[in-house]
Amino acid sequence: MPSHKPIRVALLGCGTVGTEVVRLLTDQAADLAARVGAPVELAGIAVRKPNKHREVPADLLTTDAAALVASDVDVVVEVIGGIEPARTLLLDALRAGKSAVTANKALLAEHTAELSAAADASGADLYFEASVAGAIPLLRPLRESLAGDRITRVMGIVNGTTNFILSGMDSTGASYGETLEEATRLGYAEADPTADVDGFDAASKAAILASLAFHTRVTAADVHREGIASVSAADIAAAKALGRIVKLLAICERVPVGGDGEGADAGATEGISVRVHPAMIPRSHPLAGVNGAFNAVFVEADAAGEMMFYGQGAGGAPTASAVLGDLVAVARNLVQGGRGPRESAYAGLPSRPMGQTPTRYHISLDVADRAGVLSQVAAVFAEHDVSIAAVRQEGRVDDASLVVVTHAATDAALRSTVDKIGGLPVVREVVSVMRVEGEET
């Protein structure tokens, strides 16, 4: 059995995830010791309010997180969230050669460079599997299993709250506002849902995924971000009518940069596009069936082909499972020697602005039912060099609906096209405009 001295762990934060981390560390003490080769001991738990009721040993609680980090601990596990004091505490730990495990996506999406530099300087480990897609093993596959391949695309549903809302809108036909209210009532959305519904949470995760997939430093500022607040019942219905469904997608892909944006330009160099926005995908796409609070991520690589990872993207126990997996890895490294993979940002690929990114649009219009409408609308597309993939026109008593799905064109060209069409006298209303993903372009 283990002969190595115990690995001492400081836990920073004791909310839903922290409480589960404590429970797993306690319940599985014997198993963890056998897997690590040394007992894993909880040295202390830093909290802001020590008197709040928690299912953890009261004698381990402290309000002095800095002192806990500075004490005789080997590993610091951070589940506080937010930038400060998490950033300072983790930097202190790493600078002192203590390994760190964090679930903090917002911090990583801003300060990975600083944290990694501190880890590299002292030789400490920095693991953060729990920061993206909860329990789903995703970061380790990206940075280790696929390290010998060339990842071309990562696309997925990485925010459970918005997926719950969009799934609800799709199944009931209700508005965004009504469905958000329901999600809040059921505890799937927070009282202030901004971080989720405006796409900040997904954008942080996209930055982390893109950094690992493309060996490039990507921060939240590099991510084009659109939330779901403007997704209407009409958008959902328009998607349904075409056998599609609306999802909030995080998309990270290799793209040509500096050419004309059409993808096959020989003058372009390699870059990346990282973005979060709602999009229609075919109902036959594997991501279409990912409902409620679940997460799923598609990964495409040159040699491996397409892969999908699916599971619970949030929640105390699933997130704690990912934290514990990292803790075991860090503890094993302390016992056996060695380090986990460092930050790998050698490729330094440029980010392409959204306007230059090729994408496809679905546009649904209410138009006057008279001859020549289609030719007027089609002329605007042609003028902007946007090629049309499919058109569906249906007459009604006084007017008609016209649905256009485009081939890939730059986002800027598509935006201008939509603006111009909205101004045509024959167009009564632009009912729905949404990007289309998950199909051949």
Residues forming the site for its own copies (CB under 8 A) = 20, 24, 28, 31-32, 34-35, 129, 135-137, 140-141, 144-150, 215, 286, 289, 301-312, 315, 317-318, 320-329, 332-333, 336-339, 341, 344, 346-347
Question: Residue 297 or 431: which CB sits closer to its own copies?
Answer: 297
Question: Shortest distance, CB of residue 302 to its own copies, whole angstroms?
Answer: 8
Question: Shortest distance, CB of residue 143 to its own copies, whole angstroms?
Answer: 9
Question: Residue 275 or 332: which CB sits closer to its own copies?
Answer: 332
Token pair of 196, please? 């989720």
Give one DSSP letter per residue of 52-110, joined into a string.
S--SS-GGGEES-HHHHHHSS-SEEEE---SSTTHHHHHHHHHHTT-EEEE--HHHHHH
Question: Shortest distance, CB of residue 189 to its own copies, whole angstroms?
Answer: 20
The residue annotated as part of the active site, out of 205, 240, 247, 420, is 205
CA distance 45 to 27: 17
Q: Is 205 a catalytic residue?
A: yes
How many Cβ atoms from other residues are within 10 Å of residue 25's Cβ? Answer: 21
Beta-strand runs (E) in 341-437: 358-368, 388-395, 399-406, 409-410, 427-436
CA distance 251 to 257: 16
Give one DSSP letter per residue of 363-389, joined into a string.
EEEEEE-STTHHHHHHHHHHHTTPPEE
Question: Shortest distance, CB of residue 11 to its own copies, whole angstroms?
Answer: 13
* Cβ atoms 101, 327 nearer than 8 A: yes
How many Cβ atoms from other residues are within 10 Å of residue 243's Cβ? Answer: 11
Question: Residue 79 or 238: which CB sits closer to its own copies?
Answer: 79
Question: Shortest distance, CB of residue 36 to its own copies, whole angstroms?
Answer: 8
* Cβ atoms 243, 205 nearer than 8 A: no
* Cβ atoms 297, 138 nearer than 8 A: yes
How many Cβ atoms from other residues are within 10 Å of residue 121's Cβ? Answer: 11
Q: Which residues are identified as catalytic?
A: 205
